[in-house]
Chains A and B, each alone.
Chain A
């Protein structure tokens, strides 16, 4: 069965510092991978996705993520964090390929706090 692990429940970084949020997945084949962000009381906003091809993907708001098949990881990075980045971040896995489902399995989320 697919699973997604976000090892860090809570991360605090200073504004302007770099950020890396970890995500590990368990899946037999190459899945579709996503990062979403959620502000309090809001829905999920898609930051970026990986379907195939270049393993380094660029997203919105200056975020990027790198797919590492050997480590089953899809870590999210940002070179310089802004106070407005404080939110909860979710990594998600879809079955990908020729699957006929869009079902997503989510990690438990990482709450990012940004210090001024």
Chain B
């Protein structure tokens, strides 16, 4: 069974641009959540989706948004990028909302 797939693996963007990251969950999993990992703040919850609906959102500005499609694939978007958005963005999939989460390899975003 294929794991969680995140694309792209690496990304370099300029301040002010926007970026879209993609996540394909494990087949059959219906919940996707996103986390930001930085050396200073550690792992922080961004948001989670189940059945195409955002169920929970972390404490991030509105520049961070996401969505989930009918096939459970998810995308997250960051608009008006700031240097502080440089981070590893991790996607996790789970069968349902409250079951164990399996993480992808992450997308390393660098904002210059």
Q: Is the CB of B97 within 8 A of A101?
A: yes
27 sampled A-B residue pairs with Cβ under 8 A:
A32-B98, A34-B101, A43-B6, A43-B105, A43-B106, A44-B90, A44-B103, A46-B100, A46-B101, A46-B102, A46-B103, A49-B100, A94-B98, A101-B48, A101-B56, A101-B97, A102-B98, A103-B33, A103-B45, A103-B56, A104-B33, A104-B35, A104-B45, A104-B101, A105-B45, A106-B35, A106-B42
Which parts of A73-116 form the interface with B (CB within 8 Å)? 90, 92, 94-96, 99-109
Q: Give the bracket for the number of chain B residues in contact with chain A.
A: 20 to 34
In the complex with contacts A43-B90, A105-B45, A108-B42, A100-B102 CB distance below 8 A? no
Q: Taking beta carbons and an 8 Å cutoff, which residues of A are in contact with B?
A: 32, 34, 36, 41-46, 49, 90, 92, 94-96, 99-109
